[in-house]
Structures are given as C-alpha cells and as structure tokens.
Amino acid sequence: MKLKFLKDKYFFMGKMQTSASVDEYIATADPQAKKALRDIRRTIKGAAPKAEEVISYQIPGYKYHGMLVFFAAWKNHISLYPAPWSAESLKKEMSAYEGSKGTIKFPLDKAMPLTLIKKMVKYRMKENEMRASLKKQSKK
C-alpha cells in the first residue's frame, strides 16, 4: 500500500472501501468514528425523515428534492457536505469549525455539534425545496 505525503499528513493510497449501505459504511469505519457517525446519521434522519438514504461517491448521503447532505469519516474528523457557509443564520456557529466552500469538519476529539448539524440539514432542505419549486414553475 502506498503512502502519499500531503500537508504534513499521511494518507493511504490503496483501494478505497466501497460500502453497499450506510449500515455497512458505519460498521467498517474506524472505531473512534463509529459513535459520531451513528449520531450524525440519527440527527439527519430526524431532521429530514422523508430523505432517502444512499451511498454515493462511496459515502453516506441523503436525497430530498435533490442531494441534501453527505457525511464521511476521516482520520481526525467527520466532514459534512455541502456546508451552507452562505447561511447568515448559521455563520456564527459554523465559524467554530474548519472547512472550505463545500465542507465543514467536526473534530473527532470533541462532541459532535448535533444541534448545528440539524440546523444545517433544515437549511439545506429549504434550499432544495425552493430550487424544486422554481424548477417546477419554470416547466409551466
């Protein structure tokens, strides 16, 4: 298995594990990440009970009027994609975490911010609903 050096971190560059379900993804995750993954999954399902759970891009995702969110376990954090950085109502809470334009990283050595994740999912649901409504109107 090859190692690749990138920004002071080593990554294994072997064959990527492909899971058939979210249950399998969580079961094969690093033990340190499993509780966080289960908690995030439960939070997303609670916030978006009508969302369809999928594996896409080899990570868990949820569809609700299009793609809603994805989450993935990494060595030191859990990432949630896409992160709604443009949401004024969430900026202050989200600013406590690292991320980029499309992702937010929650460190595994801290409690998962489940209330924030719920708000992010609800915000993304409203975005998707609005997009779906506009798309439907444009077809008339």
pTM of the model: 0.84
Domains of the chain: which residue ranges? Answer: 3-138
CATH of 3-138, one of 3.10.20.740, 3.40.50.300, 3.90.1150.200, 3.40.30.10: 3.90.1150.200
Per-residue pLDDT of the chain (140 residues; tens, 9 = 90+): 333 433 333 333 334 567 899 999 999 999 989 999 999 999 999 999 999 999 999 999 999 999 999 999 999 999 999 999 999 999 999 999 999 989 999 999 999 999 999 999 999 999 999 999 888 787 76
Distances in Å between the Cα of 20 and the Cα atoms of 4, 29, 33, 82 are 27, 13, 19, 22
Characterize 16-36 residue by residue with b for buried, 16 or more Cβ atoms within 10 angstroms of its Cβ, and e for exposed: eeebeebeebbeebeeebeeb
